Structure 1
Amino acid sequence: MRYLIRPATPADDAGILALVDATPQHGRVLLNFERQPAFLHGSGVSCETPELWIAVDEQDTVIAVFNVGCRRVMVNGAARPVRYAHDLRLAPAWRGSTLLVRLFRQLRQILRSGEWMQTVILSDNSASLETVGSGRAGLPVYYPCGEIETSLLFSGARRRAHGYRVTQATPDDLPLMQAWLDEYGPRRQFFPRYALSDLIAGHDYYRGLSVQDFLLAWRGSELVGMTGTWCQKGFKQTRVLRYPFALGGLRHLLNLYSRLRGGLHLPAAGGTLNYRLLHSTLVRDDAPAVLDALLQPLVEQARRDRCALSAGFFLQDPLREAASGYRRQRLASRHFLVSYGQDPRPLLDGRLPYVEVARL
């Protein structure tokens, strides 16, 4: 069968959503990562400038999609546009065909000479990791560049006193918050370049986010840390399509336990999971105690709202220690720099890497 690879347009949104519905994530629990009401809404949060490509068959049905849009991140202390490769979906009937190779050939034409991209792959996604290391003609090289631990935080053993004052951000705090981002963001490799004026203006890159979603940590009158949470359920959903028989029968008991001790609320089959994503986390001297002071009210509020808080860190990040004092579930991922040219890793200096799980 013939197919055409081309840039996606807004008119393709319904076809892309149909492909998403047809490509759930298989495992013990059958999940689907949905993008209702519009696929482009989620793409505009992952990348400041999305670049969606699709493949369509002879009936103009969308059979594949991928995104290699750009977002500004800090590289060696300076903001630069870096592509993020994600949202790859192939219709089941086309898996094992030459379509994937053709998509990568198209990618090679898109990338400039010497350009590299970021991507993240779940550690238990053996199919994708085997493709990465297959050495098939036309595929770029995936250079391993760190491992990421993402934790769903549910509750802490008890509230720990650190001596920091935590406040909810207000519009009056915006100049100080922007100065904080400008000073501490460049100290982290891959930290996003954030302009809070775009947040206030309602830019798509900040969809569903407000100033009140940020928390600030103070020592006396001195700002020492900042983070925020982001509920993205309005444009990105994780839907549970099917439970294994035993888990489905125990779901109500598990939910009762979660209400008492903290945990992820399991919806009925067909429902969606509730969680919030940590973002914009910058702490002076990378002190875990400061982040813990910020996490405590966030985790407590998430527990009251029967949802979980998702926080991700590279394994070498000192702030990862702050998540260890909570009841949690952990998920491992691998971070790659992708290039058709030379290995970009020697170009990076020794700054601690940062992952923004809210934009994966």
Structure 2
Amino acid sequence: MNYRIRQAREEDNGAILSLLQGTPQPGAVTLNFERNPDYFRGARVTCEEPDVWVAEPREGEGPIGAVYNVGWRHVWVNGQARPVRYAHDLRISPQCRNGMILHRLFRQLRKQLGDGEWMQTTVLRDNMASLSTVASGRAGLPTYYPSGTIETSMLYTRARRRKLPDDAVIRQTGEADLDAISQLLRYQGSQKQFFPYWDVSRVRGDAYCYGLSPRNFIGLWIGGVLKGLMGFWDQQGIKQTRVLGYARGMGVMRHLYNTHSLLRGGMKLPAPGGVLSYLTLHSLVVEDNRPELLRLLLDDAISRFHGHYDALVCGFFTQDPLARVPASYRRRLLLSDHFLVSYDGDPRDQLDGRLPYVEVARL
């Protein structure tokens, strides 16, 4: 079948959701990363300005064969805020994977990118299909320059006692804290590569912050000064991780595993068709990147949200000293490869030595 590549429209929502549902991630547990009920609602959270394209049959009716998004969001690069594209949600129907559709998608992408423009993208380490195709360096495709490994942790919630220093306070934030939050995010965020740059007043109802409010942060005050921050985001209304099935033998093991999780804390595995229960953390900053301050915040959150969610999701690049903190908790670990994508040479030479940051809530 012959396809044409065009910009997506709102009326494509149902067809895009159907495509996403038909392209699961295989493994011992078959997962599907979904965007129900509105793909475009989630696209506006991942990117401030989505740039979504689809492949549709040139003649007659038929399902969409592919979709991708290369929208922009503002991030800190070398201490300056600038718009950078994030390439994601590339899904190709199984019926189209042996044809020319991938090359047509990337020919269109070449037209969209400006001279010298580069993008970010991440690929799950277990996603061998993507690593062997789009990141393979084939002729006609952009070059994927490896730029770090991301550890995404699903930290199991549980009741735990915590002791704070005498001059420390941890509490949920509110409207009156937005100025202090903004100052901390801008100063600490500018010290890292790719940290999101955004106006925190957007939590009052902006599409980029769908589901957030001024109360969706936990702050750490020491001596009355805000020293650490951790946002929390229930994103079930924009994306879901659905379990489609288990490998042979996993059905029985699931019940044993869930019993163990009930006793010790852990991610409970739902029956096929169910979704995983987790809360996504975002905007994780602490003064001077001090791991002991992050530990205080995570201790609070793991206890605070126990009984409401099975796990908290956060992510760090492996070279970030803060990555040592989630490694000390009971967790499920996922590895991803981070790339800078370009048709016009290696963009890594443009970056200074700042530590990179990943906002897993916007992947």
When normalised by structure 2's length, the TM-score is 0.95
Matched, 1:320 2:323: yes
Matched, 1:236 2:239: yes
Q: CA deviation at 1:132?
A: 3.9
- The corresponding residue for 2:111 is 109
- The corresponding residue for 1:87 is 89
Tell me if the contact between 2:25 and 2:127 (Cα under 8 Å) persists in the aligned partners: no
In 2, Cα distance between equivalents of 1:54 and 1:324 = 39
- The corresponding residue for 1:19 is 19
Residues 46 and 293 of structure 1, relative CA distance in 2, 3 Å threshold: same
- The corresponding residue for 1:187 is 191
Q: Percent identity?
A: 52
Letter of the 1:37 partner, please give it.
P
Gaps of 5+ in 2: none
In 2, Cα distance between equivalents of 1:180 and 1:336 = 28
Letter of the 2:189 partner, please give it.
G
Letter of the 2:324 partner, please give it.
E
Matched, 1:215 2:218: yes
In 1, Cα distance between equivalents of 2:269 and 2:306 = 13
Letter of the 2:42 partner, please give it.
G
- The corresponding residue for 1:125 is 127
In 2, Cα distance between equivalents of 1:231 and 1:172 = 22
Match of 2:305 among 285, 302, 306: 302
Aligned Cα RMSD in Å? 1.5
The CA deviation string for residues 47-88 of structure 1, in whole angstroms up to 9 with x for no partner, is 000000000013242110000000000001111000000000
In 1, Cα distance between equivalents of 2:343 and 2:13 = 30
In 1, Cα distance between equivalents of 2:159 and 2:318 = 23
SS, match of residue 81 in structure 1: strand
- The corresponding residue for 2:138 is 136
- The corresponding residue for 1:198 is 202
Tell me if the contact between 2:75 and 2:84 (Cα under 8 Å) persists in the aligned partners: yes
Tell me if the contact between 2:75 and 2:196 (Cα under 8 Å) persists in the aligned partners: yes
Letter of the 2:301 partner, please give it.
L
Q: CA deviation at 1:225?
A: 0.6
In 1, Cα distance between equivalents of 2:140 and 2:95 = 21
Q: CA deviation at 1:338?
A: 0.3
The CA deviation string for residues 7-48 of structure 1, in whole angstroms up to 9 with x for no partner, is 000011111111111111111111111111111111111100
Q: CA deviation at 1:97?
A: 1.0
In 2, Cα distance between equivalents of 1:157 and 1:145 = 37
Tell me if the contact between 1:148 and 1:335 (Cα under 8 Å) persists in the aligned partners: yes
5 Å matches for 1:1-360? 1-57=1-57, 58=59, 59-155=61-157, 159=161, 161-163=163-165, 164-200=168-204, 202-360=205-363
Q: CA deviation at 1:106?
A: 0.6
When normalised by structure 1's length, the TM-score is 0.96
In 1, Cα distance between equivalents of 2:120 and 2:79 = 17
More helix by share: 1
The CA deviation string for residues 131-157 of structure 1, in whole angstroms up to 9 with x for no partner, is 245332210011111111111101579
Q: CA deviation at 1:126?
A: 1.5
Q: CA deviation at 1:244?
A: 2.3
Letter of the 1:109 partner, please give it.
K
